[in-house]
Amino acid sequence: MTPAETPETAAETTDTRARPTVRLRPKAEARAIRHGFPWVYADELVLDRRTQALAPGTLAVLEDADRKPMGLVTVNPLSKIVARMLDRNPEAQIDVAWLTARLSHALTMRETLYDAPFYRLVHAEADGLPGVIIDRFGDTAVIQPNAAWAEAHLDALQEALVAVTGVQVIVKNGAGRARQLEGLVEETTVLSGAPQGPVPVQMNGATYMADVLGGQKTGLFFDQRDNHAFAARLGRGGRVLDMFSHVGGFGLAALAAGASSALAVDGSEPALKLAQQGAEAMGMAGQFETRQGDAFDALEALGNEGAQFELVVCDPPAFAPNRKALDAGLRAYERIARLAAPLVAPGGYLVLCSCSHAADLAQFRNSSARGIGRGGRRAQLIHTGFAGPDHPMLPQLAESGYLKALVFRLNG
């Protein structure tokens, strides 16, 4: 899509017989796609002039090398993921009814799991909507259309979302690396309704303030909900250090569970202000402290101060977002563990998290263990956590299971 084109140029016609076809190369792994893998990479597809001329987000019939239809895909010649599977039926009509069915299926599970409408409603490929993230904050929903097809069908997606959930405010968060890789313009805008400031979200007994317009991602990280709860039990009665705290995720949960105090450290002043508002809403402002600055510098400073905490949590951004960054990312995770370990009081707990796609669990665990050892501490690994069930994993797509949380007890 050239800068002058709009997403609508990629929208399909109502006549499914007029759809273009795209074909796998002879050596492409057709079996993996038939068994549920949702992506076709650029080197697996015949990229002739006709295919390369398709507008990003075009719907096409995917054929194997023998020209047998495999399903309906969305095509983006500008992306390394050149095709994404939408439906195994090559004649499927991607309209409001189709989107309503997908959203209704996703909602059923969330309503079964959660008593209140605060959760991730759609987790991209794992919920059958490639590249689409939707987080729900009561009557407000934030959509991240991170694939060109979703941008082209945004009006229909919005209509279906209202029909299924009844939300009154919808925000489009069009920022982030994923959209850049799709050749999409970055923008955040209100699609419907009028947001009235940060949205209070109740989770694990804590109150979080979600800035759905100006915050990171959609305004809150629902994926850590279960890990917040587990760590909070370990911090009861003790001092808690919440590094990379964003709006107070682990620290506020720990206070709600009975921690004596919590120090939240983050590089973002607006995020820390929201964290402070959350503590005030909980009536725990006197037990909550914030410190703005670089996390590595803050950890070193706390070490020099001789600070000690019964629970230390480090939940950094993705240090290894891709394979090229893997080695540097693993070194960063090791350094975090090395600096954090000495801050844990004897018998206390250290929680280390990674949301890096490129670093698998074993690699992250090994880097963390090395760092703890280099920090002069001995540890037991007592728990491994992942994203909550509102962030389901597509078994065939390892990238959909990105979050890892390691809980160590430090003995010496």
Q: Please give the positions annotated as active site.
A: 355
The neighbour count for residue 55, using CB atoms within 10 Å, is: 20
Cα 20 to Cα 61: distance, rounded to the nearest angstrom: 6
Cα 85 to Cα 24: distance, rounded to the nearest angstrom: 13
User: Strand pairing of 58-63 and 21-23?
Assistant: parallel
Quick one: tokens of 248? Answer: 């107070």
What angle in degrees, to the nearest 10, is found between the helix axes of 326-340 and 295-305?
A: 20
Quick one: tokens of 192? Answer: 């419907």
Q: Which helix (H) or strand (E) holds 405?
A: strand 404-410
How far lies 34's CA from each of 26, 69, 75, 94, 357, in Å? Answer: 15, 11, 18, 20, 24
Task: Select from 112, 36, 33, 93 the least CA-distant residue to 69.
Answer: 33
Q: Which helix (H) or strand (E) holds 104?
A: helix 96-113
For 191-305, where are the alpha helices, taking DSSP H only? 225-234, 249-257, 269-281, 295-305
Residue 28 identity (one-letter amino acid): A
Chain-centre distance for alpha carbon 297: 26
Task: Select from 224, 212, 217, 228 the least CA-distant residue to 139.
Answer: 212
Q: Are 172 and 115 in contact (CB under 8 A)?
A: no
Secondary structure E strands in 16-168: 21-23, 39-41, 58-63, 69-75, 81-87, 118-123, 132-137, 140-145
What are the two backbone dihedrals, phi and then psi, of residue 54, each rounded to the nearest 5 degrees? -65, 135
